[in-house]
Amino acid sequence: MFTATTYPIPYFIWSDAPALPSVPLGVLSNAVDADAAGATRATISPPGAYFSASSAVPGRSVFRSIGAEDGWILEATENSSTGGTLNRSTGAFSVGDDAGDRQYRGFLSFDTSSLPDNAVITKVTLKIRFFRTVGTNAFTSLGRLIVDVRNGAFSNDPGLELIDFQAAATKHAVGVLPSTRVNGWHVRVWTSDILAYINKTGRTQFRLRFALGDNDNGSADFVRFYSGNTPTAGNRPALIVEYYTP
Ligand SMILES: [Ca+2]
Ligand SMILES: [Ca+2]
Ligand SMILES: [Ca+2]
């Protein structure tokens, strides 16, 4: 990532060697994770080497969710935890529950392949724009809005499929989108935890779900957010990635 500056150390002959120092208990490696300035290194390095960040170039990319690949999936039956129906063409996807006490999950798809392969990602922002509430406010009745992230595509296919409802994420519950809105947007910022899950060679996808699958009241309670299909590009879900390249 950086240019390492190294310095020669004096040549020793065996008879010069001092007695080996004792290794402190619990210290199993002499690698250090911070540079001389105290900044965290991307990879830990042995003491004595340090990096110069003077040549690092900052970058910032804004990605919008791909309309053909985002949308919602509704659970098949109340306790199935499997996808039953989906909609990938709606201009606003739903997250919450329906009148059959089934869960709606929302899906976002970003083509992040244009990020430089050597980018060191420092900050990630995910934002979705509120459209409307149906029933009670799901942020109140169904708990926190949880974000699952996939480095790549759910089910290894960028298209939205019923099995994506229950497909493995790279990291489940990597964060929560706040219930409060800023100028109509629910915004979450990460400076750790999620950075490694942003895909520099393909899709980065997200699954959004409330903590509670349903509130068992036989009535629809969900929130709709603008999707990648909405005509105004500025309303579509956005993923903002900040990084630097060496
Ligand atoms: Ca869509
Ligand atoms: Ca998929
Ligand atoms: Ca309900």
> Are both 139 and 207 inside the same structural domain?
yes
> Are both 71 and 46 inside the same structural domain?
no
Q: What is the pLDDT at residue 47?
A: 59
Asked if residue 165 lies in contact with residue 89, where contact means CB atoms within 8 angstroms, the answer is no
Asked if residue 77 lies in contact with residue 214, where contact means CB atoms within 8 angstroms, the answer is no
Q: What is the pLDDT at residue 27?
A: 45
Q: What is the pLDDT at residue 19?
A: 74
Any idea what the CATH number is for the domain that residue 218 is in? Answer: 2.60.120
| CA 161 to ligand 1 centroid distance, Å | 12
> What is the rounded distance in angstroms from the CA atom of residue 244 to the CA atom of residue 197?
16
User: Which ligand has the minimum distance to the alpha carbon of residue 169?
Assistant: 2
> Are both 142 and 239 inside the same structural domain?
yes
> Are both 18 and 36 inside the same structural domain?
yes
Q: What is the pLDDT at residue 82?
A: 98
> Are both 8 and 74 inside the same structural domain?
no
| CA 154 to ligand 2 centroid distance, Å | 4
Asked if residue 55 lies in contact with residue 244, where contact means CB atoms within 8 angstroms, the answer is no
| CA 79 to ligand 3 centroid distance, Å | 13
Q: What is the pLDDT at residue 38?
A: 74
User: Which ligand has the minimum distance to the alpha carbon of residue 71?
Assistant: 1
> What is the rounded distance in angstroms from the CA atom of residue 42 to the CA atom of residue 134?
45
Structure tokens at 202: 């393909």
Spans of the chain, pLDDT less than 70: 1-2, 10-14, 16-18, 20-32, 36, 43-54
* Domain end among 15, 35, 55: 55
| CA 156 to ligand 2 centroid distance, Å | 6
Its pTM stands at 0.79
Number of domains composing the chain: 2
| CA 228 to ligand 2 centroid distance, Å | 16
pLDDT tens track for 65-122 = 999 999 999 999 999 999 999 999 999 999 999 999 999 999 999 999 999 999 999 9
> What is the rounded distance in angstroms from the CA atom of residue 145 to the CA atom of residue 137?
12
Give the end-to-end CA distance of the chain in Å, rounded to a whole number. 5
Q: From the CB of residue 234, how many other CB atoms can be counted at a distance below 10 Å?
A: 9
| CA 136 to ligand 2 centroid distance, Å | 30
> Are both 106 and 168 inside the same structural domain?
yes
> What is the rounded distance in angstroms from the CA atom of residue 105 to the CA atom of residue 207?
7
User: Which ligand has the minimum distance to the alpha carbon of residue 64?
Assistant: 1
Three state DSSP letters for the chain: CCEEECCCCCCCCHHHCCCCCCCCCCCCCCCEEECCCCCEEEEEECCCCEEECCCCEEEEEEEECCCCCCEEEEECCCCCCCEEEEECCCCEEEEEECCCCCEEEEEEEEECCCCCCCCEEEEEEEEEEEEEEECCCHHHHCCCEEEEEEEECHHHCCCCCHHHHCCCCCEEEEEEECCCCECCEEEEEECCCCHHHCCCCCEEEEEEEECCCCCCCCCCEEEEEECCCCCCHHHCCEEEEEEEEC
Domain range enclosing 148:
60-245
| CA 160 to ligand 2 centroid distance, Å | 5
> Are both 34 and 133 inside the same structural domain?
no
